[in-house]
Each structure stands twice: as structure tokens, then as C-alpha cells.
Amino acid sequence: MAFLEQHIHDEPKTFISKYVISYDHKVIGKQFLWYGIFWLLVGGLMAMLIRWTLAYPGVPFPLIGSLLFPHTGGVVPPDTYAMLFTMHGTIMIFFAITPILIGAFGNFCIPLMIGARDMIFPTLNMLSFWFSMASGALLLISLCLPLGAAAGGWTSYPTLSTTLGSPGAGQTLWLLSLFLFGASSTMGAVNYITTVITLRAPGMDYFKMPLTIWGIWLTSILNAIFVPVLGAGLILLTFDRVFGTTFFLAGAAATSGKGDPVLFQHVFWIFGHPEVYILILPAWGIVSDLLSFFSRKPAFGYKMTALSLTAITILSTVVYGHHMYTTQMSPLLTQSFMTLTMLISMPSAVFFANWLGTLWKGSIRFTSPMLFSLGVVFVFGLGGLTGLYLASTSIDLYLHDTYFVVGHFHYTMAASVLLGGFAGTYFWFPKMFGRMMDEKLAKIHFWTTMIPLNGIFTGMMMMGWAGMHRRLYNPFIYEFTQNLMPLNKFVTYCAIAMGFAQFTFLYNFFKTIFGKNIPQASSNPWDVGTLEWTIPSPAPHYNFKEIPHVKCGPHELGNPNLTDGKDFQYQTEELVKA
């Protein structure tokens, strides 16, 4: 492995160069963290509005409804409801999860965990954040337009997203916003991939990298390949809306012979299914490391876990068609996609079994990062199993447009990624800010999140199995769904409880950063051996005075032959044979 020489650059002196236009990967990581938390709050408020409308259609939203919807007396109107679920999905996926899991942890962790002083392309790194900011600004502007923001669903299928289905400028701004987001993601992906390949510390081969780095690195490869595919679809749809082209015009095949709205679905899901793994691979990597760290034993099947994540990355590129069983796809294609979708569950089962093997007979420390990691194990196991139903063509034809899909998607994506994000935040917070978050509040946050979370998404799957369709403003106008009203209200109560639980996190987060008399964190409060814990907390601007030499893997814990009263080895120490 070629190791590039790295210089120590002067520390920035002004506020602007230090905190605003910063080239320091750690500051950019924090910027992405703040950015993601802001959008998480916006998307969460939209979720509350959606759930209230489904449980109490026609009833004003409490407290702030009259401020948000003065012309309807506080009631969410049908057109606004379509905008809410469109923007909720868009914000949570692209503007909350992506900045936190990939932008924040990718930027902060990669150089520190591979023994580098910064990213390989600091200027590109800075630009990736500000392109993301510009993307978010366009999305915010779209909310203020006369006809409102985009309302064609987060997938924005034509004809819902053409000028016929969405006549306002909100949908066009949505397209431009996501295009800028894609540019930001591609910049970050190129930076992450190249940094991991070229700046790993001497002695750190690929199978000595923490699994967190494996997850983020594989995610970056998918980003670099498939985000441009989405960008191409967004450009073509923008041309249809602005210049009158017919790439996705319904009925064009019967006249001009050109244009088909289903073509956009192919373009979208060629990106869209890898996007599922783009979001969840970092969470899987983080959890794989944390389970080992807090079980105080080596990660079970480390190499097989890394290879399983790689196999999932490869297979994720060829299973997109299971999102399109209801589009009258050729039966031969549906059988192929069904087989491939079933096949991807095999490497998923391997690393899931490795998680259980890591926990087995471990000396478990139930810290807040560990609790959230265990939460990921539970919710991903449940979400993954329910995905097998949707992989089957015949079952999916019935369940596809129901709340079963919504529940499954949120279990595998929202729940797993959200809990994984909290696990990473609590774990690396002392390295980011030099202080320890309150563990009691963190554990309260976990339980008040975990319990209602399962009530929400299990309830959704039960309603979907009973036939309740998604995307309906008032599904209870149908007689056969009226008996689901009590369950639907229960889901809403759980959503409200989970929403209020996040204020515990926010209080803990801001109090620890800005409060007085908060004790400073030690350089290694968790007793972990990866490279970021060999330097002071918070990490200095240059990261490492001397580039470390790696001599062992990241999970050397619980060796009975260790001395000096510690049960772990730093990666810079010679491996003590058990």
C-alpha cells in the first residue's frame, strides 16, 4: 500500500475559517451533524402532522394547527397532506439520515480511524457541505411558494410529478434541490473512497480497518456509481417540466412513439434500491464495531462480516425490480428479481449471525451506545424478515400499496438508521466535543424511543396486512377499513410519544455542549483500541502529531494475557497472543 506524506497545516485563526468555511474534516463533520439534526426536527414535525391527520381526519392539529393552516381552521387540507408525506420522505432520507450517517460520521471518523490528518481533498470536502446547504435552501424556499412544495411522493413518479400532476414551481425546485444534493454526495463519495485507499496509516490493511470504515467506504462506492443515475433522471424530468420534452409523457408511445412514465421508475429504482444500502451500510458498520467494543470481545467473524457487507453492496445493484412488480413487468423479469432479492438475504443473515456471535458470552456493558446498537439488532431483524414477504411476487401484488410496505420500510430504514445514528452520536460525542453526554438521560432517551417506535411500525404492518392503503388522505371513508381506526389512533399516540422523547436527546445534547460545569471527557472514556482514542478529546486540528503505525486489528478485547489492568489493545500495540 502506498502511503502519502501528510503535512501539519496551520490552525485557522478567524471564526469564519474555523467554523464556517472550514477545510477541517472534523468541523465539516460537525456541520453535517447540526444540519442533519435541524432537518430531522422539520421532518419529524411533518410526521406528526401526517399521523394526526390519519387518526383524526378533519380535526384541527393541536396548538400550532391554526398557525400553520389558518385558512382551514388548523385542519391539514388534502393537497397539503400530499405535500407533507412527499417532503417528509424526502427530508428524512436525503436531508436528515444522509447528513448524519454519511456526512457527519463519514467526515469525522474516516481520517481519525485510519490514522490520517485530514481528507485527501479538503477543498472538495468543504464544497460538498455547502452544496448540501444550497440544496436544503432550495427545499425550504419551495415550502413558501403559492402552490406549495412538491406533492408527487418522495419517488416523484410521472405523471404526478409532471406539470399536469404538479402545476406549481415546487416540484421543479424539488428536482433542482435533489440534483444539488446528488452533486454534494458525489463529491463526498469521491473524497471518502480516495482517502481510504491512499491515506490509511502504515500497517493498516483492509482487514485491519474498523467495520465502521468498511460500511462508510462501501456506501461511498455505491454513491459514486448510482447517484449520477438519479441525477440523469432528475435532469430529464426537469426538461419535461420546463422545456416541454416528452421523456416521461404518458401516452406518448401511442402517438410519437417516444416517452414513457414507467421509464422514470426504472431510472429512479436503479438508484433507489442501492440507496437503501447507501443509508444503512454505515449504521451496520457502526453497530458491528460497537457490539464488539461493549461486549468486550473480538467481533465474531470479522472478515466474513466485511465480505458479507461487500456481497450485499454488489447484490444491491441488481435487485431494484422488486419495487416494480405492480408495473406489469415481464414475468421472466419478476422471477429473476425475486430470486436475486431472496439471494441478498443470505449475506445479510451471515453478518446478523455474526452480531449474535459477538454478543454470545460477552461481558456486556449496557452503555447508551450499546443499548442503541442492540436496538438496531432487534429492529433490523424484524424488518429484514418482513422483507421476505415483499420479495415474493404474488404476496407483493397484494401488499405493495398498503401500509405493510410503509411499516417494513421504516423498520429496515428509519428505525435501524435512526437508532444507529444515535448510537454513533453518543459514542463519538466525547471525541467531537470533549465532553460526555449524561448517561442517565441517554438511557431514558433509548427506552422512550424504542418502545413507541415498535408500536408505530408494527401497527403499520398490521394495518397494511388488513388492507389499509397508503397515500390516502382519509382512508376511513371506506367501510372495510373503519374497524382499523382504534389501531390507527394507537399508532399516532406512539408517534407522538416518540416525538416527545427526542426532546430528551436535544436537551442532553445542547446542555452538554453549552452547559457550565460539565466535566471534560478523557481521551478514551470507552476503553477502546481504535486509533481515534489514542489522541486527546476533542481531537486536535492536526489529529496525529506522529502518523501511527498499525500493528493489530480494531477489536482486540478480552485477551486474558493482557497486563497493565486493561482488557483491550490499541491498534498501535503489538498483538499479545491469547
3-state secondary structure 508-551: HHHHHHHCCCCCECCCCCCCCCCHHHHCCCCCCCCCCCCCCCCC
Rounded mean pLDDT, 369-373: 98
pLDDT at 529 over 90: yes
Residue pair 567/557 in contact by the 8 Å Cβ criterion:
yes
Q: Please tell me the least confidently modeled range out of 2-6, 58-62, 260-264, 323-327.
A: 2-6
- At residue 203 the predicted structure's pLDDT band, cuts being 50, 70 and 90, is very high
Band (477; pLDDT cuts 50, 70, 90): confident
Cβ atoms of 400 and 155 within 8 Å: the answer is: no
Decide: residue 233, CB within 10 A, 0-12 exposed, 13-18 middle, 19+ buried: buried
> Quick check: is 314 in a domain?
yes
Mean pLDDT of 77-84: 92
Amino acid, res. 418: L
Cα(159)–Cα(146) distance, rounded to whole angstroms?
21
**Residue 453 belongs to what domain range?**
23-250+258-534
pLDDT score for 4: 67
CB 125 within 8 A of CB 28: yes
**pLDDT for the residue numbered 174:** 97
Residue 415 CA to residue 394 CA, distance in Å, equals: 27
Predicted confidence band at 343 (pLDDT cuts at 50, 70, 90)?
very high
Which phi and psi (to 5°) does residue 520 adopt?
Answer: -70, 145
For residue 1, is pLDDT > 60?
Answer: no
Element holding 169 (H helix, E strand): none
pLDDT band of residue 577 (cuts 50, 70, 90) is confident
According to DSSP, the residues that pair with 520 across neighbouring strands are: 435
**Mean pLDDT of the region 346-358:** 95
Determine if the peptide bond prior to 538 is cis (ω within 30°).
yes
- The domain spanning residue 197 has which CATH number? 1.20.210.10
Residue 567 has pLDDT above 50, yes or no: yes
- Whether residue 18 lies inside any domain: the answer is no
Q: What is the pLDDT of residue 472?
A: 87
Query: Is residue 548 situated within a structural domain?
Result: no
Per-residue model confidence (pLDDT) at position 63 = 86
**What are the grid coordinates assigned to 227, written together?**
447517484
Name the domain count of the chain. 1
Mean pLDDT score, 81-108:
96
Summary mean pLDDT of the chain: 93
Does residue 203 lie within any of the structural domains? yes
Q: Which of 179, 175, 180, 209 is nearest to 192 (CA)?
A: 209
pLDDT level of residue 480 (50, 70, 90 thresholds): confident
Would you tell me how many other CB atoms lie within 10 Å of the CB of residue 4? 10
Query: What b-and-e string marks burial along 414-451, b requiring 16 or more CB atoms within 10 Å of the CB?
Result: bbbbbbbbbbbbbbbbbbbbbbbbbeebbbbbbebbbe
**pLDDT at residue 3 tops 60:** no
CA-wise closest residue to 33 among 431, 380, 378: 431
Which residues, including other chains, have CB under 8 Å from residue 291's CB and lie 6 or more apart?
299, 355, 358, 359, 370, 373, 374, 377
Residue 2: the pLDDT is 44
Cα–Cα distance between 523 and 534 in angstroms, integer?
7
pLDDT score of 173 more than 70: yes
What whole-number distance in Å separates Cα of residue 95 and Cα of residue 140? 11
Asked if residue 336 is part of any domain, the answer here is yes
| Stretch 525-548: mean pLDDT | 94
Task: Report which DSSP code applies to 201.
Answer: P
564 occurs within a structural domain? no
Of the candidates 281, 116, 120, 97, which has an alpha carbon nearest to the alpha carbon of residue 187?
120
Residues 6+ apart with CB under 8 A from 311: 347
In a domain, 565, yes or no: no
Position 257 scores a pLDDT of: 66
Radius of gyration, alpha carbons of the chain: 24
CB atoms within 10 A of CB 319: 23
Q: Is 324 inside a domain boundary? A: yes
pLDDT of residue 175: 97
